[in-house]
Amino acid sequence: MEDKKSLYPLKFEPILKDVLWGGKKLRDLLHKKGASERCGESWEISDVPGASSVVANGFLAGNTLGELLEIYMDDLVGDAVFERFGERFPLLIKFIDANDKLSVQVHPDDQMAMREHNSWGKTEMWYVVQAEPDAELIVGFNRPMDANTYLKYLNEGRIEEILHFEKVKTGDVVFLPAGRIHAIGAGLLIAEIQQTSDITYRIYDWNRVDASGKTRELHTELALKAIDFRPVKNIKTTYTPVLNHTVELVKCPYFNTNVIEFNQTIEKDYGNIDSFVIYMCLEGKLTIETFVAPPVEVAMGETVLIPAEINNLYLKPQPSSKILEVYIGKTS
């Protein structure tokens, strides 16, 4: 690590993951170099143990996100964020290409995750970047549910009968608090924002087998402890895009996410949020201009981390763009 210098908008090398259900969209639509035809996930920004993102641009290139946190601390993430989370970056940012449906799963909340795994829980959200016709998500149950009824259907191999299937299209948003049963269906390209946690309890995997004929491990007992059986009233987040304005999508204790569609320069002042900011470019291209570093070009499929010490910047579309804006909100 070089001597401590002023921070700048940071890009990272994507961490690409081949999976049974992956496809070609990360390679062909988001232009991820090195992505295979079975690439299902691109971890854009990660500080998961064993998978810390590596800086791709500027004088910090080659250093990990974890190393940056050790040196820059609150300059990178903000005073309040550093006080709350310490030297572990609190969010995991991904693009997901589901060429086939994912397993039905659930994630623990902070209390259960700390008790069982000495880890944070996993609240997350999805933004549908691209959807094939009739693509679906699974979120929650399609009827009132309790643990005994759930186990009956699960043990009888009939769990598909009680799952709630929801058709989705490009631009749809789904918020998934820890404990909510879910799965991504086939034909979906998703931007995912989540807590830094890789804990997943697999409930059902459509009876799939791998190349050697083996099924994947299920986590029935842990999942039963984690599932929130309360009914879900609104699967999708309701919002109205407004050109050249910041529109709120999700506001929760773990992250705030907004969408910005713009065809003219947007000026941002982050002086009052006390947090880093992440941009995920969903459409088009843009340039980020700050007062501390050369302009940074951002294309569709790229993700940029704006350090907390950078309060003012300009977003300049080329000629239009759509981005997600993510940061940690202040807690009361």
Q: Which residues are catalytic?
A: 202
Main-chain phi, psi angles of 150, to 5 degrees: -55, -50
Q: What is d(CA 249, CA 258) in angstroms, rounded to the nearest whole number? A: 5
Main-chain phi, psi angles of 230, to 5 degrees: -65, 145
Closest C-alpha among 86, 85, 15 to residue 44: 15
CB 188 within 8 A of CB 120: no
| Encoded amino acid at 137, one letter | L
Residue with tokens 């170099």: 33
* Chain centroid offset of residue 320 CA: 23
Q: What is d(CA 244, CA 225) in angstroms, rounded to the nearest whole number? A: 44
Which two tokens mark 98? Answer: 């589901």
All residues at 6 or more sequence positions from 295 whose CB lies less than 8 Å from its CB, including other chains: 287, 288, 289
Closest C-alpha among 322, 318, 288 to residue 306: 288
Cis peptide preceding 319, ω within 30 of 0: yes
